[in-house]
Structures are given as C-alpha cells and as structure tokens.
Copies of this chain bind each other. A is one copy, B any other.
Amino acid sequence: MRLPYLTPDDPRRAEVGIGFFGLPWDGATSNRPGARHGPRGLRDASTMIRAMNRATGQLPFEAAACADLGDVAMNPVDQDQAMGDAEAFVSKVLTQDIRPIMVGGDHLCTLAVLRALKAQRGAPFGLILLDSHTDLYPAYFGSETLTHGNPFRQAVIEELIDPKRSMMIGMRGTSYNNEDFEFGQAHGLKIVPIEACFERGFDAVMAEAREIVGDNPTYVSFDIDFIDPTYAPGTGTPEIGGPTSFQAVQCVRALQGLNIIGADLVEVSPPFDPSGGTSWVGASILFELLCAMLPK
C-alpha cells in the first residue's frame, strides 16, 4: 500500500496507530507449503490499492497513521525459535501502542500474536475467525509439535482467547473426525458451518458475531481459505463451496465499530497463485480489515 517502512527503533513509530508486519513462515503446514512467501506477494499486490474506500467513504491512511513495520526473520527449520522471535517482535509493537495487523505465513503464526496480546493485556479476549477450518484439532503425526491445525485449540488451552466471546464462521470440507467441533462446543465456542451461512445469509451470521463479542476487546483472524478456492486458489488447504470475494468483503465490513485489538490475514501461498489473483484478493481484504478497525 506504498506505506512508509519503519524499523523497530525508528522514532516515527511513536505516531503510528496501526502497523502492518509480515510473518513469512510456514513451518507448521501439514500439506502444501508456500505461505512463507505470503508477505511478499501481498506487499506486491497492495501497490494497486488506492486511497479511498468508496463503499464506506473512508480515507484510512489519513484516518489512522499507518506504517509498514517490515517482516520478522523467522528460522524456517526451528519452530520454537521462530515462534519466540515473532512473539518478541509483536510485544515490542504493542509496547509502542500500535495496533497490529499481521500478514502470514501459516495459521500457527496467529498463535504468536495472541500470546503477545495476552501477555500485554493479562486477560483473555474475544476472537472472530473467518476460515474453512476450525484449527481446533489436537496435535497429530504422533508428535507434540504444533501445526497450523492447532492454534486455536492451543489458544483456548493457554487461555489466550475467551471461547464464550468467540465465533468461528465458514467451516466446511471433509474432516478426520469431529474432535474439533466437540472441543469447541465443550468450551462454549460458537461454530457456524458454511451451510448455515448460506441458509441464514452472511448479514445475519455477522450480526450474531457482533452480539457475541459485544464491545469487548476482540481479535479478528482471516484465513484466506475462508473464501472459495476459485476466488482464492493460492492457499495450502483449499475447500470448495465457500463464499465469493464480495461476501467475504461484506463480512469484514460488518465488523466495523467493534473493539478490535488486532487482526491478521494468513495462508496466502504465492507458489499456488501463479496469476497473483489470490494476493490481490488478500490485499483487498487487508484494506477492508484496516477500515474496519477505524471509526466509520
């Protein structure tokens, strides 16, 4: 979005209200890797974003002091080191009083942001997840290591998020079993499969989401595979039968006015996006996320 790039110690960070940064890491991907190149693809596509959100009338780059905080150099082969470095980076951003918008990377990257937010705030917060998967699965492959299928189970276990003030929207596709839904329900976490979205309409679903999180602090996580893979093929675990890009934009616009403490867009994988179309959809979603974090 042609924003100024500010290194961690740049004094201009003091004036920044919302900061974008990249976590170029996909070491927790179970099947098709490549999301590590997501920040690059999204930065490139974002140069086609202009100043004004015509639908809402907002001029977000004026309304919020925005900046590009750069990427975290994450060790591609050492999960602990990578997650620790990411959390430290976000913690510094939070102490500078900047609201973070993280650009992934695979979905485990979100866990690093949630940990930093919890450490700063001391209390769990709400979550709105737009995704085709719950990412509430237990660890698999017979190992303790986390994957991009676990971040929100882990976030519930570590009490980073408050499941009763959280909602997951758009789930679909085949699954190994029902363990993730059962885990969510046992903790009072509301999950809305795609069939219910299409039946009730996305407006009604998002209205329920607004009600659940209320004016409590809320984190918004957007997995690009929420959108139908025809609209966003460049991702590792596509599931057919999702919303259009227009419906996805409407979902994000419905978040406006909530108390959003951070957000992310994850799982954009440029190697599976030769035309660049997914990066363009992703950059447009990032722009709407930014607008949703501002007053109307």
Contact = CB atoms under 8 A, between A and B. Distances in A.
Interface of A: 26-34, 36-37, 40, 44, 48-55, 75-79, 81, 141-143, 145-147, 171-178, 181, 193-195, 198, 228-231, 233, 237-238, 240-242, 244-246, 249, 271-272, 274-275, 277, 280-281, 284, 287
A230 B231 contact: yes
Given A77-B28, A77-B145, A194 B241 contact: no
Contacts of A33: 26, 33-34, 36, 76
A290 to B, nearest CB: 11
A109 to B, nearest CB: 14
A147 B37 contact: no
B175 A27 contact: no
A278 to B, nearest CB: 10
A176 B271 contact: no
Most chain B Cβ neighbours within 10 Å, of A77, A175, A194, A241: A77
A178 B271 contact: no
Contacts of A76: 29-31, 33, 141, 147
29 contacts: A27-B77, A28-B77, A31-B48, A31-B76, A32-B34, A33-B36, A33-B76, A44-B44, A49-B174, A50-B176, A52-B176, A52-B178, A54-B173, A75-B141, A76-B141, A76-B147, A77-B141, A77-B146, A78-B143, A78-B145, A81-B142, A228-B244, A228-B245, A229-B277, A229-B280, A230-B277, A240-B246, A242-B246, A271-B271
Contacts of A231: 228, 230, 240
B271 A52 contact: no
Given A54-B175, A240-B284, A241-B246, 10 more contacts: A27-B77, A32-B34, A50-B173, A52-B176, A54-B193, A77-B79, A77-B146, A78-B141, A233-B275, A274-B274
Contacts of A242: 246
Contacts of A75: 141-143, 145
A81 B139 CA distance: 14
Contact of A32 (B32, B37, B146): B37
Contact of A40 (B36, B44, B146, B277): B44
Contact of A174 (B44, B53, B79, B143): B53
Contacts of A37: 32
Nearest to A75: B141
Nearest to A176: B50
A52 B53 CA distance: 41
B54 A147 contact: no
